[in-house]
Structure 1
Amino acid sequence: MLGNAYTSVINGIDAVSVKVEADISAGFPCFDITGNLGVAVRESRERVRMAIKNSGIRIVPARMIVNISPADLRKEGTHYDLAVAVAVLQAAGIIRQNLCENIMFIGELGLNGELRPVRGVLPMVINWCKGGRQMVVLPRENAMEASYVKDAKIIPASTLNEVIECIKGDFTEVPFENAKPLQSTEYGMDFADIHGQLSLKRAIMVAAASMHNMLMIGPPGAGKTMAAERIPAILPPMTYEQQLELSGIYSVAGMLKDGVSFVDKRCFRAPHHCITPQAMAGGGNGLMPGEVSLACHGVLFMDEFNLFSTKTVEVLRQPMESGHILIDRVNGKVEYPADFMLVAAMNPCKCGYYPDRNRCSCTPAQVRAYFGRLSRPLLDRIDVCVQVPRIKYEDMVYDGKDLYTNEYMRSTVERVFNIQKERFADEKYSLNSAIPAADVSRYCILDREAENLMNSIYDSCDLSARGYHKLLKVARTIADIDGSEYIMAEHICEASGYRMV
């Protein structure tokens, strides 16, 4: 007799539905699973066999063959256990075959028949619902995570016996209530906490208004890290689609735990400078997402930027341009979203005090070597570079608040986001920073004075084609902040000041 059940295979943050087929026939008793399997999937035959036995279900010893198709897809993970068990129970006649046609089964089985949580549930449920099917049976611990998918009907279970009773009862149990995503912007930190540094705050507001990549250069203790930590607090709330995408990344990485079942606010990732290129890009066993993907739609902060290894820093070049990263390894190929805002910080020299010659003892050659660790192609991809001076004493003791508070900066950034959303309504991109080279002349329109100034800056600053386009995009964002339809000379002046690396 033949039994069927459905589950999914994960590829990056995407999923593909797969069919689990089980056949029980006369012959020498055995239990084999086929279908291009990883180690964890091959081991599932022992978990499934013991889970069925210890759930009080008796199956007459026979030849049991399970196939997970299509066979050209690599199957990794433990979430296939429940689907394999359901298919075997159908083949044994314990469950009627016509009851599980439009249901996906997800979950790892313990030897006692207990259902245990797995990672990657969110992408699997999203893919299942895209096909017009809705019902999903999964471990109770994963129910909240899956409930954020609209239209999904989630049936949580704790044991294999609960799943069998649910199937036999024609799923009369009320589905788990779908959760409603929140749009959280509370981060508990305010730019008003930073004394002085008005030019830095202005540069951050410009960069945040279109998710421009930025670099801060200044002495130790000037407030670079404090400022970077507060950037997510002034970014607009993520859309539902962005929340779903980011939560899918964290689900695949196994980071939705400890009560966190959905990522509803922008992330701030700050890896140490000893991080490896593989940890930054992603990979390893199971091709897990790296820091560039975990920071998607949020901030990737790299302190002591030039102390990261050259290979690690150069990993950023592709995702900074495309918003995705392709990981190609011997055991597979996956693509992850990596649409992050890079915020980097570094000291101006090894001692940290250049150009203050009263405190800095570095030679010009040492300063050049310190900066020389960063390649020109990488610096060319950074839109906003700002000098962060030492905080003055009068700023430290000033009790009042300046203009640049979270409330003011967030309202400005949200207004500019809305302008860009309206402008690019018919495009595949939605931010000035993402305008492709072919569209720069259409959206970055300069008045006559600005054109003349841009002409002189292009030659005097020896800009590359990429640098020219980056400058225009930043100028477009500054013009949006000022509410100007055209880019004017003052916008070009400010944008060019941010490219003096």
Structure 2
Amino acid sequence: MLVKTFGSAVFGIDATTITIEVDVTTGIKFLLVGLPDSAVKESQQRIESALRLNGYKWPKKKIIINMAPADIRKEGSAYDLPLAAAVLAASGQINHDKLSKYVLMGELSLDGTLQPIKGVLPIAINARAEDFEGFILPKQNAREAAVVDRLKVFGAENIKEVIDFLNDEGSLEQTVIDTRAEFYAQVNNNPLDFSDVKGQENVKRALEIAAAGSHNIILVGPPGSGKTMLAKRIPTVLPPFSLKEALETTKIHSVVGKIDKETSLMTRRPFRSPHHTISDVALVGGGNYPQPGEISLAHNGVLFLDELPEFKRTVLEVMRQPLEDRNITISRAKFSVEYPASFMLVASMNPCPCGYYNHPTKECVCAPGVVQKYLNKISGPLLDRIDIHLEVVPVPFKKLSEMESSENSEAVRERVLAARKIQENRFAEHQGVYANAQMTSKLIREYVVLDNESNNLIKNAMDRLGLSARAYDRILKDVKNNIKHIGNIIFVSLN
């Protein structure tokens, strides 16, 4: 008897429906075809144990399983549930009438318990797009899938519950959440705040400008001057997620299994801070079966690289193209995948190895030439892609001991939102451009027209500092942002 069930394969951040065809005939062989990986091939042992311990039998016949389309590689153990259901239906042990209406995914333990899987949100979105009635999956993933409306989501704890549901002998509880209500209830919930930072008013102002235009920024200063503390609070002044951005970001985190069972939809912009020992593959994504890297996990949020010169040079250099194109393409011999990577880069570093070069009170103990060697760890082309370079000085005791709180994140965010609104209106006709940092050279020439005084100032800066054409464009983006949205022009040295 030939029976079909339906699963799904995640490719990049999108899913493709997989049709699982099972034919049980006379014989003794077990054949699994359709480009399965080792984890899928090992499913026979898990399924056989799960069925036996739940009162069902593995057919003692010839079983042929095809996973179509056969040219897409099937990875992982999430196909255990649809494979088990198809084998039971093909051998006449359960009813197969409902199988065509649902996508089934889940890993089986030996006792039949369903284990959580990755990539649930893209699978649910694809299931709705292909007009499936519902999605049956492990209960731990049900809230994540229930974000997708017009799709019935049923979470199950074990295979017995799924079998009873398919046989109309029991029911599964449908998981329903109000996506918009839950999203807007949590969107402004953040434990960090700019008011926690004492002093550093000029740095906060620069961070506000960077947030308003989504500009990359680097903070240079001695240890303890507050670089990391300031960087961690940047997401609190960025505009709140739109529902579209939240779905897009949640899809990426879903693919790598970063969504916990209590979370249905990400409501806060991601803040990723990888350690400086990270590899280039872990940063940009890749592997034998490509997965998103840190720059994609920071999509629509902030990527913070603390102690920038300590990162391996090869790791930093792979960020050049994503910083310009805002996406990353991972190519292999047989295929390539593209991940979004539109993030705001925030970096911090000490001015020298000991950390006290140009410190107002402490003396630098670095040997001659060491400071320049330390700074040369960061290449010119990478620095060229960072819009704002800012010096952070230590906070004096008088400021630290003040009891009065400084301006909070909510007040700063209101100004950032006003600036972003103007930019959205300005770029309404240009798809994918919503902030000044995303302007192309053509848009810069169209929207940034300088007077003679400003033009002479930039000319002098380029002559003195030897700035590149890219740096010139980035200065114009900052100038546009400051004139129109913040009210001040801040010229930052890019040397």
CA distance in 2, matches of 1:386, 1:452: 23
Report the CA distance shift for 1:56/1:352 in structure 2 as closer, same or farther (over 3 A): same
Q: How do residues 424-463 of structure 1 correspond to structure 2 at under 5 angstroms? A: 424-428=427-431, 429-463=433-467
The aligned residue for residue 229 of structure 1 is 232
Contact 1:24 1:63 in 2 (8 A): yes
CA distance in 2, matches of 1:9, 1:356: 55
Report the CA distance shift for 1:136/1:364 in structure 2 as closer, same or farther (over 3 A): same
The aligned residue for residue 8 of structure 2 is 8
The total of aligned residue pairs comes to: 489
The aligned residue for residue 470 of structure 1 is 474
The aligned residue for residue 74 of structure 2 is 75
The aligned residue for residue 44 of structure 1 is 43
Shift of 1:448: 4.7
Once the two structures are overlaid, the 10-residue window that deviates more, 301-310 or 274-283, is 274-283
Name the SS for the 2:268 alignment partner.
coil
Shift of 1:153: 1.1
Contact 2:209 2:486 in 1 (8 A): no
CA distance in 1, matches of 2:216, 2:318: 15
Cα deviations by residue, 1:266-320 (Å, 9 ceiling, x for unpaired): 1222222122222222234643322212222221111111111101111221221
CA distance in 2, matches of 1:307, 1:287: 26
Q: How do residues 375-414 of structure 1 correspond to structure 2 at under 5 angstroms? A: 375-402=379-406, 404-414=407-417
Report the CA distance shift for 1:68/1:115 in structure 2 as closer, same or farther (over 3 A): same
2:351 aligned to which of 324, 345, 348: 348
Shift of 1:377: 0.5
The aligned residue for residue 146 of structure 2 is 147
Name the SS for the 1:155 alignment partner.
strand
The letter for the 2-side match of 1:35 is G
Once the two structures are overlaid, the 10-residue window that deviates more, 337-346 or 172-181, is 172-181
Cα deviations by residue, 1:158-201 (Å, 9 ceiling, x for unpaired): 22222122123299756221342424233222222222212111
Contact 1:32 1:45 in 2 (8 A): no
1:319 aligned to which of 298, 317, 322: 322
Once the two structures are overlaid, the 10-residue window that deviates more, 233-242 or 320-329, is 320-329
Report the CA distance shift for 1:173/1:219 in structure 2 as closer, same or farther (over 3 A): closer
CA distance in 1, matches of 2:43, 2:85: 13
Report the CA distance shift for 1:26/1:209 in structure 2 as closer, same or farther (over 3 A): same
CA distance in 2, matches of 1:171, 1:476: 63
Report the CA distance shift for 1:154/1:372 in structure 2 as closer, same or farther (over 3 A): same
Cα deviations by residue, 1:213-270 (Å, 9 ceiling, x for unpaired): 1000111111111101111111121112221222222222122226344322112222
- Aligned pair 1:420/2:423, yes or no? yes
CA distance in 2, matches of 1:155, 1:258: 14
Cα deviations by residue, 1:427-472 (Å, 9 ceiling, x for unpaired): 2221111112222212323345434433444434332221111111
- Aligned pair 1:138/2:137, yes or no? yes
Contact 2:270 2:302 in 1 (8 A): yes
CA distance in 1, matches of 2:400, 2:31: 71
Contact 1:216 1:345 in 2 (8 A): yes
Root mean square deviation, CA, Å: 2.3
- Aligned pair 1:158/2:161, yes or no? no
CA distance in 1, matches of 2:311, 2:8: 38
CA distance in 1, matches of 2:453, 2:69: 63
Report the CA distance shift for 1:44/1:332 in structure 2 as closer, same or farther (over 3 A): farther
Contact 2:156 2:172 in 1 (8 A): no
The aligned residue for residue 124 of structure 1 is 123
Contact 2:143 2:263 in 1 (8 A): no
CA distance in 2, matches of 1:163, 1:67: 22
Contact 2:140 2:261 in 1 (8 A): no
Once the two structures are overlaid, the 10-residue window that deviates more, 327-336 or 203-212, is 327-336
Shift of 1:330: 6.5
- Aligned pair 1:498/2:492, yes or no? yes
CA distance in 2, matches of 1:120, 1:127: 11
Name the SS for the 1:101 alignment partner.
helix
Contact 1:5 1:20 in 2 (8 A): yes
The aligned residue for residue 25 of structure 2 is 25
2:250 aligned to which of 244, 247, 250: 247
Contact 1:280 1:292 in 2 (8 A): yes
The aligned residue for residue 205 of structure 1 is 208
CA distance in 2, matches of 1:169, 1:159: 16
CA distance in 1, matches of 2:176, 2:126: 19
CA distance in 1, matches of 2:341, 2:364: 38
CA distance in 1, matches of 2:353, 2:425: 46
- Aligned pair 1:188/2:182, yes or no? no
Report the CA distance shift for 1:178/1:189 in structure 2 as closer, same or farther (over 3 A): closer
The letter for the 1-side match of 2:92 is G
Once the two structures are overlaid, the 10-residue window that deviates more, 468-477 or 450-459, is 450-459
Contact 1:7 1:104 in 2 (8 A): yes
Report the CA distance shift for 1:60/1:303 in structure 2 as closer, same or farther (over 3 A): closer
CA distance in 1, matches of 2:190, 2:177: 26
Contact 1:33 1:45 in 2 (8 A): no
The aligned residue for residue 283 of structure 1 is 286
Name the SS for the 2:88 alignment partner.
helix
Once the two structures are overlaid, the 10-residue window that deviates more, 389-398 or 377-386, is 389-398
TM-score by length of 2: 0.92
Cα deviations by residue, 1:67-101 (Å, 9 ceiling, x for unpaired): 00111111101111111122222322334444322
The aligned residue for residue 53 of structure 2 is 54
TM-score by length of 1: 0.91
The letter for the 2-side match of 1:421 is E
CA distance in 1, matches of 2:273, 2:58: 53
Once the two structures are overlaid, the 10-residue window that deviates more, 313-322 or 170-179, is 170-179
CA distance in 2, matches of 1:345, 1:384: 12
Name the SS for the 1:470 alignment partner.
helix
CA distance in 1, matches of 2:8, 2:398: 62
1:480 aligned to which of 464, 479, 484: 484
CA distance in 2, matches of 1:132, 1:417: 37
CA distance in 1, matches of 2:272, 2:420: 22
Report the CA distance shift for 1:112/1:344 in structure 2 as closer, same or farther (over 3 A): same
Report the CA distance shift for 1:498/1:171 in structure 2 as closer, same or farther (over 3 A): farther
Once the two structures are overlaid, the 10-residue window that deviates more, 190-199 or 352-361, is 352-361
The letter for the 1-side match of 2:274 is P
CA distance in 1, matches of 2:196, 2:165: 55
CA distance in 1, matches of 2:41, 2:334: 16
Identity %: 38
